[in-house]
Amino acid sequence: MNPELFLKNLAQHGYQLSEKQKKQFETYYQELVTVNERVNLTRIVDRDEVYAKHFYDSVTPLLTFSDLFKGDKTLCDVGAGAGFPSLPMKILQPDLRITIIDSLGKRLKFLEELIAKLDLSNVTLVHARAEDAGQDQHLREKFDLTTARAVARMSVLSEYCLPLVKKGGYMVALKGPKAQDELKDATKALKVLGGRVDKVEELTLPDSDDERTLIIINKVMPTPKKYPRQAGTPNRKPL
């Protein structure tokens, strides 16, 4: 998906990008591949693949569930790595207030410099493990939305993300193809943590065979105080 096709597909969903937004995506690409030479951010560096598998993939929740993101929403991106999916979302919808949580300082340094070069406001970076962030009273149950992409399987991801979502908010998981089995395995975790499956949407990235699954979890009850457990425990002993 070259940049022109990227813009065309966004336009089909009602997003007509300004010159500033187009330049932001191009600057994002240039910074990603430049810094990736010394910091491991991504294995994908081809321009067309970055626009398809990073930029377009990241904004599929906005295109598919636009109502979730309308208004003055706060969004916490857990384990964002090189800024996916939250920063492409932020470029597309500038009124989103973003908090990015990541445990690796080198990635956060890249994001700090990138955010400045993209001239993005209302983006906060937090250096922490997701489990520690979920017990931080400044972050716990403070967000309308959480997002996560390529971080962990659903049973583990739910314990990372749901403690950060306020009651009535949503967890948005960007998964690969055929994620139903993974979701089934997370049934207990979702119930314990206060989540309920709201929507599951399977899609294919434009002009490709790359399948994706978007899973929307509604936070229907507060998360019990004992969750998330100590750092590393959710991954070792999933609920």
Q: How do residues 28-77 score in pLDDT, each as one tens digit?
A: 999 999 999 988 888 888 999 999 999 999 999 999 999 999 888 999 99
Residue 97, C-beta contacts closer than 8 angstroms, at least 6 positions apart: 72, 73, 74, 75, 122
- 94 part of a folded domain: yes
Tell whether the model's pLDDT for residue 9 goes beyond 80. yes
**Domains contained in the chain, number:** 1
- 3 part of a folded domain: no
The predicted pLDDT at position 14 comes to 92
- 32 part of a folded domain: no
The mean per-residue pLDDT over the stretch 198-226 comes to 94
Query: pLDDT tens-digit profile of 181-203?
Result: 889 999 999 999 999 999 999 99
Rounded Cα distance, 85 and 148, in Å = 7
Phi first, then psi: give them for residue 99, nearest 5 degrees.
-125, 130
- 38 part of a folded domain: no
Rounded Cα distance, 181 and 155, in Å = 11
Q: Is 229 annotated as a binding residue?
A: no
Tell whether the model's pLDDT for residue 175 goes beyond 80. yes
- 7 part of a folded domain: no
Pairing mode, if any, of strands 123-127 and 143-149? Answer: unpaired
Q: What is the pTM of this model?
A: 0.93
Residue 23, C-beta contacts closer than 8 angstroms, at least 6 positions apart: none
Q: Is 131 annotated as a binding residue?
A: yes
Residue 102, C-beta contacts closer than 8 angstroms, at least 6 positions apart: 79, 80, 81, 108, 111, 125, 126, 127
Q: Is 84 annotated as a binding residue?
A: yes
Q: Is 69 annotated as a binding residue?
A: no
Adjacent-strand bridge partners of 101:
78, 126
Structural domain including 185 reads 61-236
- 17 part of a folded domain: no
- 120 part of a folded domain: yes
- 124 part of a folded domain: yes
Closest CA to 161 of 237, 66, 80: 80
The amino acid at 83: G
Tell whether the model's pLDDT for residue 150 goes beyond 80. no
CATH number for 227: 3.40.50.150
Pairing mode, if any, of strands 195-204 and 123-127? Answer: unpaired
Q: Is 153 annotated as a binding residue?
A: no
The mean per-residue pLDDT over the stretch 95-105 comes to 94
For residue 61, give both structure tokens.
């929740």
Average of per-residue pLDDT values in the chain: 94
Q: Count CA within 13 A, CB hemisphere, residue 19.
A: 0
Rounded Cα distance, 90 and 233, in Å = 32
